Structure 1
Amino acid sequence: MPDGKNDAAQTHATATASAACPAHHVRPGEGRLAHAPADHPSVPKARTGVLLANLGTPDNHDYWSMRRYLNEFLSDKRVIDYPAWKWQPLLQLVILTKRPFTSGAAYRSIWNNEANESPLMTITKQQTAAIRERMQTRYGDQVMVDFCMRYGNPSTPSKVRAMVEAGCERILFFPLYPQSAGATTATANDKFFSALAQEKWQPAARTVPAYFDQPLYIEALAQSVQRAWDAMEEKPDLLVASYHGMPKRYLLEGDPYHCQCQKTTRLLRERLGWPEDRIITTFQSVFGTEEWLRPYTVEHVAELAKAGKKRIAVIAPAFSADCIETLEEINEEIKESFEHAGGESFTYIPCLNDEPAHIDALSAVIEDNLKGWLD
């Protein structure tokens, strides 16, 4: 038989606790909660956050801005996994003494002087605004859209904090990397989870997986290639799909990036209806002394020129927005390598950036990953 006295006591205790903090059992609404004590903090209207994430950018191209940015980037164990005792003295005493000057000069050559920011920052802002508009049309004020950077500003923790303060009880975290890699997607997710660990009222969370094989993404890539081809009187001999590189060792340790890059190229070729020898996969941005994924773009384009391929186009399907690796490395360093080897026509096809077809693809990925939260 139930004990009526105990039941009554338990009911009273529950009611007392509920009255003390109604936020625990009442869905948050705008302002102070109904029946809450006068000193209870206001609770914002419940929303769902969509937090876009990209690699990052220095605040400026001067020495100290570059040093801060490179120190954070190159100290990430996902990027450089050497033991700290071995890597940090080399980084702090040698690399960060010299590299801020060379990297700063590279950034200076592409800097958006009007906005006083890097092109990656400018483009990410444009992408965020376009996606925010799409989400507003689709979900109204239920969804908050913002962006953060893994390195530099705006930081991931600051944007997670802002979303929690704005009432986001759920956050969809979207690393803007079509292909997944430990040094890109995984480290962005690490930073996101670390930021969540600081929150007392922790929102529910989801992360968006790689989207390299999503039909709308492949369609957007194909459209960008077709536009470039249609604009040229003399067509290129072939298309080079240049992806950011990584140590070959990472592939052997199980990183999926290399395989996803190869599949991206194949899906793009199939969508274009091209033969296999019309498009090739290469890897750029080699760093350090160990072997990276091959072929290296900067070397291979020179080999192509010497072999008689005098006209090439280059696309960068691993980058969602133009940045230092595309605007400076591809369109300057890699182009120079090709031309010095005898190449005659080099065309860089820009990243998808805020092209409508790209925003369509990213919005579709977001909507798919919001299912069950917002339908």
Structure 2
Amino acid sequence: MSARPFLKITAPLNGLLAAVGLVTVAALTAREIGSTTRLSLELVLAAIWAVYVLQLVDTLIRRRATDDRGLTPELVIDLMAVVVPLIGFLLAGSPDQGLYCGIWLLKPLRHFTFFRMLGRVVARAAPNLVGVTSVFGIVLFGASLIAYLIERDVQPDKFGSIPLAMWWAVTTLSTTGYGDEIPMTFAGRVLAGLVMMSGIGIFALWAGILATGFFEEVRRQDFVRNWQLVAAVPLFQKLGSAAFVEIVRALRPRVVPAGAIICRKGEAGDQMFFIVEGRVSIQTPSPIPVELGPGSFFGEMALMTGEPRSATVSAVTEVSLLSLYSEDFQMLSSSNPEIADVIRRTAEERRGGAGQG
């Protein structure tokens, strides 16, 4: 186990190794490079492959330590990065051996949470995506069949069979239009116009399904994160489940770096803040500033009275905040009067003692 820190490869290093390896693979395809340069490039690939062997060992050690015997994407990528180039070295001819290292394109994916999100989005949207893909297949084959019937006698070299016509249908459906196959008859051109419009609609459906899926996934993640943040504020722990969901949706998370000004005296106040983590300093008429920590809130007086901010608040440390806007505060006041009463009483006490926000 003492060797594990050496075996551990960070995400940036993984991406750098993959980039160097792929550039080396591309360089090896150049015919004009000399034998010495080729040998040097092959040694670079061998060194990267050796590093990936160590990374595979690290993955297996970690899985053994946690008694994880499942086949994860991380393990599959690490195995392929080692096994596929080895097979290429053993079976392929010398000029093509390095091409098998192209599998390293997958290496950066093992660290990116985006691709995991993409997998979840595709999995959830699979029925709709399959439905649109089925429509695409139907339109593709139908257009190829009709184009074959219309154009086969006019252009037998390009539309002489359905497979030949299918290439034209693909380029037309995607609105690429390479121009290598063009209908010559009037009916064929009408068909081409209909296929183009169908293609625009199909690709718009694909894009819309994925965009909706990404929006819902991001909103779901934001909701879970906000839930965890709100649960850390003692004031909200007494809320019922329905009210808790409402406040989670109303509050907006915000992270402020140390030393930054959160709000200034004299500014219009349209929101108040709850501290999740960190500490803030409130500049009062007293020479000693007031500090607030996790679970406290500030800025409520300007929110409730509509008056300008009565104090300047800055971050002593990096602060994780939840902000509540005035319209959401009104909603909170009507649905949870006990929470609103606590905020109002605190505001009155602070108003009597010089105020905070």
- TM-score bin (small chain): under 0.3
Give 1 or 2: higher helix fraction.
2
- Greater relative CO (CA pairs within 8 A, separation 6+): 1
**TM-score (norm. length: structure 2):** 0.20
Give 1 or 2: higher strand fraction.
1
